[in-house]
Amino acid sequence: MNKKIIGLLALLTFSSGGFAGESAGTYSVSPFLGWTYYDEVQHLWSGPVEGMRLGYDLVGHFGVEAMFSWAQILDSNVNYGIEPASAINYRLDFLYNFFPCGIVDPFLAAGPGGTRLYSNDRGVVNQEIFSARTYDDFTVNAGGGLKWYLSRRFVMRGEVRQLWLFNDKGSDNPVLHNWEYTVGLSLQFGGKNCRNGT
């Protein structure tokens, strides 16, 4: 039984299938939902995030994605109590697909970006760190995930990213660490049927 299960997993992972996979010239549109955990020094409650990714495969193994996301969160400000805040993230990611012709394709992703954090009610978000109503940080993220091809055009995906926020406002915490967990569905078009990761 164990050998049959291992064989099935191997078939799903390495099968070219004729319909699934990443190939040069493939475009993707990927809405997603997830959850973000913020660095404790930000005093922000973890909360849901939603967004969109637009991708393009340079070759089967390598692709690029532009990402935009937004989140409504709560700020436990020590001076004003709990109040609503918002976060916007944008970045350009570079992806490496391990098995671009497989029905199941694990991948790695990393890239630069930015985040904008602002208060909905007051001119301050976490006064110890953020001294303006709107505050922008440069970010770098890295992580990985898994794509599962339901068909040539429809792909389920889930991933985990760590985000490093570089705070340049004289804080004692110049680098902040956030975590992002997301699941979504990709619609792919263009490209060709995958053959040997090209």
The arrangement of secondary structure in 2-190, i.e. its CATH architecture, is: Beta Barrel (2.40)
Share of the chain above pLDDT 70, in %: 73
Domain ranges, ordered by start, for the chain: 2-190
Handedness of CA 67, 107, 37, 163 (dihedral sign): negative
d(CA 25, CA 42): 41
The chain-wide mean pLDDT, for the chain, equals: 81
User: Above 60 in pLDDT, residue 13?
Assistant: no
Confidence bin at 130 (pLDDT 50/70/90)? very low
Higher per-residue pLDDT: 121 or 75: 75
Higher per-residue pLDDT: 122 or 62: 62
What values do phi and psi take at 42, rounded to 5?
-80, -20
pTM above 0.95, yes or no: no
Half-sphere exposure of 144 (CA within 13 A, CB side): 7
Taking only the tens place, the pLDDT of each residue in 59-102 is: 889 999 999 999 988 776 555 556 677 889 999 999 999 998 88
Residues 93/109, Cβ–Cβ less than 8 Å? yes
User: Above 90 in pLDDT, residue 111?
Assistant: yes
Nearest-CA neighbor of 121 among 169, 69, 74? Answer: 74
